[in-house]
Amino acid sequence: MGNEMSQCVVVYAKAPIPGEAKTRLIPAIGAENAAMLHAALIERALENAVQTKYTVELCCAPNADAAFFEDCADTWDCVLSDQGFGGLGERMLRTLDELLSEFSGVAIVGADCPAVSHKHIREAMAKLDRNDVAIIPAEDGGYVLIAAMKTHPEMFTGINWGSDEVFHQQCEALGKVGLRYAVLAPLWDIDRPEDLARLAELKPPLPFTLPRRFE
């Protein structure tokens, strides 16, 4: 893939606002805890991203105006951008198209998967030597990273975001438009209360303390 600076890793993140962040976890741990956990996950994603030595961008929803995002930019020396309008597929396609005019490879990683290390990101980017797209699936049926060196306007068409069919639907969409793709080993993410116990597996641990019943 050439010079490392010709690649970019983009962390997709919503602002960690209580009541709006990690809403599936709110019934289990409360809105404040869910927002604090989300902030810790974003920080871990950025920490892993900067270790790749690629250019790092934090792509924010709804926009980059939150003070938290400004603090992240200062701490990790990353570029801030807005996700903008549209559904998730529309936003990701726009991000890829914009950045691939500048970089030879771009990876988008969500903030829900603290298990995505810098090694996983680099492995996915390396797959672009022989593929148009690389994907790291999530164990729950979604995916936690998509990297691309080429796009197609319909590459995110027909995907029921938030369902357990996202990964399979994404592969079908890529096949239909003729994009070659590589699939890496699946990783776990934090979407549901039953996922919280997995946080104990992280090394180093997140700077977040779960309510006692989840420890």
Total domains in the chain come to 1
Does residue 98 sit within a domain? yes
Q: Output the pLDDT for position 107.
A: 99
The count of residues in the chain is 215
**What integer pLDDT is reported at residue 5 of this predicted model?**
58
Q: Does some domain include residue 198?
A: no
Selected residue with higher pLDDT from 209 and 90: 90
Percent of the chain clearing pLDDT 70 (strictly above): 95
> Which token pair is 167?
């990964």
Report the pLDDT value the prediction gives residue 191, as an integer from 0 to 100: 92
pLDDT, residue 212, reads 60
Q: Is the pLDDT of residue 3 over 60?
A: no
pLDDT of 115 above 90: yes
Q: What's the pLDDT score for residue 4?
A: 58
Calpha distance 13→62 (Å, rounded) = 9
- What value does the mean pLDDT take over residues 88-93? 98
34 in a structural domain: yes
Strand order in the sheet with 143-148: 79-82, 55-61, 7-14, 105-110, 143-148, 133-137, 181-183
For residue 213, pLDDT beyond 80: no
Query: What pLDDT sits at residue 61?
Result: 94
Q: Token pair of 2, please?
A: 């050439």
The pLDDT, as a whole number, for residue 158 is 97
- 101 pLDDT higher than 90: yes
Rounded to an integer, the average pLDDT of 97-122 is 97
pLDDT digits (tens, 9 = 90+) for 45-79: 999 999 999 999 999 998 999 999 999 999 999 99
Q: How confident is the model at residue 25 (pLDDT cuts 50, 70, 90)?
A: very high
What are the pLDDT digits (tens) for 169-211?
999 999 999 999 999 999 999 999 999 999 988 888 888 877 6
Is residue 52 one of the residues assigned to a domain? yes
Look up the CATH number of the domain holding residue 62: 3.90.550.10
Q: Is residue 40 part of a domain?
A: yes
Percent of the chain with pLDDT over 90: 89
Specify if 57 maps to a domain.
yes
Q: Is residue 139 part of a domain?
A: yes
- The confidence score (pLDDT) of residue 1 equals 46
Give one DSSP letter per residue of 126-139, joined into a string.
Answer: HGGGT-SEEEEEBT
Q: Which domain holds residue 87?
A: 4-189
What pLDDT does residue 70 have? 97
- The two tokens of residue 86 are 């549209």
What's residue 2's pLDDT? 46
What is the residue type of 41?
A: L
Among 64, 32, 74, smallest CA distance to 211 is for 32
49, part of any domain: yes
